[in-house]
Structure 1
Amino acid sequence: MATGYEDTYRDLHQPAVVIGGCFAIVAVLLSIYLIFQHLKSYTNPAEQKWIVAVIFMVPVYATQSILSLWNPRMSVASDILRNCYEAFALYSFGSYLVACLGGERSVIELLENESRGQLGITLLERRNGNQAVQSRSFTSFFFRPYAIGRDLLTIERFGLVQYMILKTFCAFLAFLLELFGVFGDGEFKWYYGYPYIAVVLNFSQMWALYCLVQFYNVTHERLKPIKPLAKFVSFKAIVFATWWQGLGIALLWALGVLPNVKKLRTGLQDFLICIEMAIAAVAHIYVFSAEPYRFIPVSGYGRVTTETTKAEMKFGGGDQEKSAVFEKRETQVAAPGTSVSESVQDIVLEGGQSVVKDVVLTINQAIGPVEKGVTKIQEKIHQRFVGSKDKEASELQVEECVEENLTGEQNI
């Protein structure tokens, strides 16, 4: 039976590579074109460096998938690169939303104002009353995210960075387990590492996306100018399509619905991703267009262009017919041309520094409670140790006093 499926795989492999390769080429070309447009009109580095990082997710996925489809031996390595970049892209999308809101300081002010406005209390009451402590409790994040104010940004960033760290760590752990033959890709058996890693990554991803959704729910009114819903849906579709699709194929394989041929299972996943990335690339052309960044305010520098449109309108009838000409002028300031190399340099350096800073901050936040717990345990052990010593010393003093009194009485 397995031999028959192997023959089917060989018959379908070449057509699948050709068809998937065509979709992958379309995805890569469209994405590279859009990225190049952003690099040429690199007028808002704070936003565009994260847009480029999000768009670059499509060519990474398409390239790794077609390579894995062409040569199944590259499947594990392709999964590692694909998974690592997926986590980074999710972090980049969150950073893009923060940049669109004006940066961290503006977001903190926005969240604080939103919190005070929704709760209907003054800043003084928030500082001095117990209501402030209650409103910032962790449970409020699930039911009233606006109530926790500036802490919402910290939770959102922690959620995204923890997924980026865990995804990268689990990807390399899967590679090591595969080398020792105990990973069992797609097999839900207790002696393989795949089911445990799948559970951890599933929880981590859901938490990261939930944090992003809660942040979006509080700030969506201020994000309306960038049409965030379309961007949010297009990005989440890629993340969910790849992860849940792979998990669903693995479950169907484990239940016996799909043939018990590993190459066929991984090939199906790679083939579907190639098609999906072509669709995503087309969506990105409209969703993450570079058009808004091609012009800057009149106060900036650039080439001023004036476009005049005329329209003639006739009214009246017969001999009394008259005509009027309406003229409309639009003045735009073309953004100065930017060097592509300088744009790439800014993306790599500034983006890298931001990632490192947030990773260090997240690790410190995770280690902080552990250090406090260890410190408390050490303090309790020290107090007991010192207390026992003091007790022994006091008992020894009492014994010495008793002996001295007894000796004194005998001398008398």
Structure 2
Amino acid sequence: MLGKMIKIDKKFKGNVARSVNPYGCHQEVLNQIKYVKENGHYDGAKKALIIGGSSSYGLASRITQAFGSGADTISVAFERPIKDETMLGTAGWWNNIYFKQEAEKAGLIAKNFNGDCFTEKMKEQVSEYIKDEFGGKIDLLVYSVAAPKRANPENTDEVWRSQMKPIGKDVTGYNVNLEQDALVEQTIEAATPEEVADTVHVMGGEDWELWVKFLKDQGLLADGFKTILYSYIGSPVTYDFYHEGTLGKAKDAAEESSHRIGKIIEDINGESLISVSKAVTTKASSVIPIFPVYCIALYKVMQEKGTHETPIMHKDRLFRDMVYGNKREIDDHGRLRPDSWELDEDTQRKTLDLMNKITPENFNTDLTGYETFKKEFLQINGFEVEGSNNETVDFDEISKLEP
């Protein structure tokens, strides 16, 4: 018997979604699982902890470990739950629920912790669960966190806030507005030194180090343990507001953290990895200033070349071929480089040529990959998902679900 049916409408504020379709999120999880299973089994992790495992790269990492390698998984993420008929929670809330359902159907353990990964309390809760109910040790930790703020663990009254800004100069350029289907000129002011430092505290590797050290001290890391954090470098046209901006400084700090982590886990034959990712559509990338314009040009070129990837395609290839496979691409800094398809010389030349042709009048035509970018953004929130055409949900049914 059906309960109270409510209609789901797409709602945006700029490039931020204000609505979610839970049934569409379920289908998107199923679609990603199907993709991994079709690629077959590989010998990867068996007990994995994903910090930031509810969406995008973190969710993709969790799915490929579970359904590609048969891993039991734990996810830590901070998602807003369902409140009432007008506030159905976040996409990540539903991703956690439906991933757990599908993993348990496959006979796998899937534990979701919903809360602040930066806190000591969360680290303690996860460690106790690993000891008591997860076999005592993990062999993989993925750190995939994009957070707006973090409390200073030594003084929780001090809160650091991350910023997506250039350093040393203001930057002006076009950006996409998904709400208005418009290309608008935008100026981003240069970050202050304090904003740079705060972003490093939030988006660098400090908390990653704390997690690994905490679990190592508890004796919860298996011999041969691996840990990985995702970075991004991208094209020189994006450097001002990413690689050489506040986020780039944070990623530089994360590389330093990786070296220190490597020494911490050396005695258990551990490996600490930085993987430089491809540009993809995520909640974070959609609001990075000017970045979506680069994406809509890049997507068009990579689709024509047959190299365009969504997060699940990218991370399944990363773990299957590079982390646990024999097809590693490593640069002179020791970083894994699955982004080589994006930075291919011909791909970049064609992308830059296309960017120079984009105007407010033609950006949303067949000239670019705007349609792909917007569709992938909608799919993050359960809309326009292949195999799902639900425009209504059973509120009574979904309100009973727990992660």
Bin the TM-score by the shorter chain.
under 0.3
Q: Which has the higher helix share?
A: 1
Bigger Rg over Cα: 1
Q: Which has the higher strand share?
A: 2
TM-score, with normalisation over the residues of structure 2?
A: 0.25
TM-score, with normalisation over the residues of structure 1?
A: 0.24
